[in-house]
Amino acid sequence: MKHEKIETNSGLLIVLTLIVISIGGLVEIVPLYLIDSTVETVKVEGKDTIRPYTPLELAGRDIYLREGCYTCHSQMIRPFRDEALRYGHYSLAAESQYDHPFQWGSKRTGPDLARVGGKYSNQWHVQHLIAPRSVVPESIMPNYPWLMDTLLRYKDMPARMRALKKVGVPYSETEEEYQANVERFGEEVAGWLDIRRAEQNLLKQAVAGNYDGDNSDVTEMDALVAYLQVLGTMVDFSKFDEGYFASFR
């Protein structure tokens, strides 16, 4: 084909450009959907141990996105010795399979948060989020005092869960889907994933966890701390052989 033909026909030029640049994308992305070992199987006693977020954790994750925490924090521990020594076991693909969008990131102004769950107490998180420099004097993390005073909006949790369900996250809305979740995750987890009980579940977890130390109301702080405390805690690595996860690569 002559240069001139392409260069004088912008419609054709656009189409051909799209074809050329999509080859790179297709070659890199499509196989990951096909190759069986992309997402690891992580089962203990026949049940999936990695589950979608509960309504409260999900609300917390939405606040994490809204506040732009990801601009300074990654959630992806790479398989290098120095990272393992500091943060813990490297991240599995399976651990972010229900994250839409995933929070891997690459900018680490602050530390990686992929395994921050259980590292600190709720009380520490609350204080650190309100005033980071009161516990880490050299911190450059911003203050987020409003999280403590802002009531959590949770009436639309069912809608947010339904949206994620559309892209493949196994929240349940019918009895059949619920039973499938019981089969897959066990009864307790299946209960948390039921959209019909979203509001009730959210309040139950907020009261039982008392994440912000004040049980008179459910604030955005409750949700965000619940989210931080679950990060990286779903897989008990002591139950797997060291080589098991390498066999998926």
Binding stretches for ligand HEC (CB under 6 A):
64, 67-69, 71-73, 109-111, 113, 116, 119-121, 124, 132, 136, 139-142, 144, 224, 228
CB of 224 to ligand HEC, least distance (A): 6
Q: Which is nearer to other proteins, 136 or 163 (CB)?
A: 136
Is the CB of residue 245 less than 8 Å from the CB of residue 92?
yes
The item of other proteins, ligand HEC, none sharing an interface with residue 30, based on CB under 5 to 8 Å by kind, is other proteins
DSSP SS3 for 230: helix
155 makes contact, choosing from other proteins, ligand HEC, none, with CB < 5 to 8 Å by partner type, with none
- The residue assigned the tokens 């994490």 is 64
- The residues that touch other proteins, with contacts defined as CB under 8 A, are 2-4, 7, 27, 30-31, 34-36, 79-81, 84-86, 88, 90, 118-124, 127-128, 134-136, 236, 238, 241-243, 245-249
Residue 15 CB, shortest distance to other proteins, in Å, is 20
The token pair at 6 is 């392409």
Residue 116's binding partner among other proteins, ligand HEC, none (Cβ under 5 to 8 angstroms by kind) is ligand HEC
Cα separation of 124 and 120, whole Å?
Answer: 6
Pair 116, 231: CB distance under 8 Å = yes
Q: Residue 73 binds which one of other proteins, ligand HEC, none, with CB within 5 to 8 A depending on kind?
A: ligand HEC
Q: Which two tokens stand for residue 47?
A: 């049940």
Q: Which does 72 bind (CB under 5 to 8 A by kind): other proteins, ligand HEC, none?
A: ligand HEC
| Rounded distance between C-alpha atoms, residue 94 and residue 81, angstroms | 21
Closest distance to ligand HEC from the beta carbon of 28 (Å): 30
Rounded-to-5 percentages of helix, strand, coil across the chain = 55, 5, 45
Determine the Cα–Cα distance for residues 151 and 32; give it in Å rounded to an integer. 41
180 within 8 A of 170, measured Cβ to Cβ: yes
Residue 128 or 160: the one with the smaller Cβ distance to ligand HEC is 128
